Amino acid sequence: MNKISVWFIRMALIYFIIAASMGVLMLTWPWWTRTYIPGHAHLNLLGWVSMTLYGLLYHVVPKHSGRPLYSKKLGWVHFYVANIGVWGMVLYFGFVGHGKLEYGQQLLYSAYIELLSAIIFVFNMMMTIKVVEEKS
C-alpha cells in the first residue's frame, strides 16, 4: 500500500477513537452535547469517514486502473490540507459552542480549507481516471 493511503488510514483511525471518546463524554456529561456535537460530527464525517475513503481510493484507483496516481505531490498536499481543515473545524466549533462567536470567521476559513482539500482530491482522482480513459 502506498504511503499516502497508509497515512490517511492512520489518521482516520485516530479520528475514529477521538470521535468515539467524545461520544462517550457527551453521554457522561450531557452539557458537552450542546458544545461539542458539531465537532464530534465533523470528526466522524470528515475525520473518520472521509479520511478512510481518501486512503482507500488513493490505493484502489491506481492499483485497479493499472496507472500511477496523477500526482503524489498533490496527494500529500491534500493530506496536510485535509487534516488542517478537520482540526480547525473541530477546534473552532468548540470555541463557537462555548459562546465565543468571534471565532466564527476562523470556523468559516477552516471550512474553506476543507473544501479546498476536497477539490484537490477530486482533481487528482479525475486526472488519474482521465489518463486511464485516454489510454483505453
Q: Which helix (H) or strand (E) holds 42?
A: helix 31-42
In the DSSP assignment, the letter for residue 99 is T
Question: Residue with C-alpha cell 459562546?
Answer: 99
Mean pLDDT by 10 residues, the chain (136 residues): 97 98 93 86 97 98 92 98 96 80 87 98 94 56
**In sequence order, what DSSP letters do the residues of 10-50 get, joined into one string?**
HHHHHHHHHHHHHHHHHHHSTHHHHHHHHHHHHIIIIIIII
> What are the E-state strand segments in the chain?
none
Residue 60: CB atoms within 10 A of its CB come to 11
- Can you give the pLDDT at residue 103? 77
* Cell numbers linked to 71: 500526482
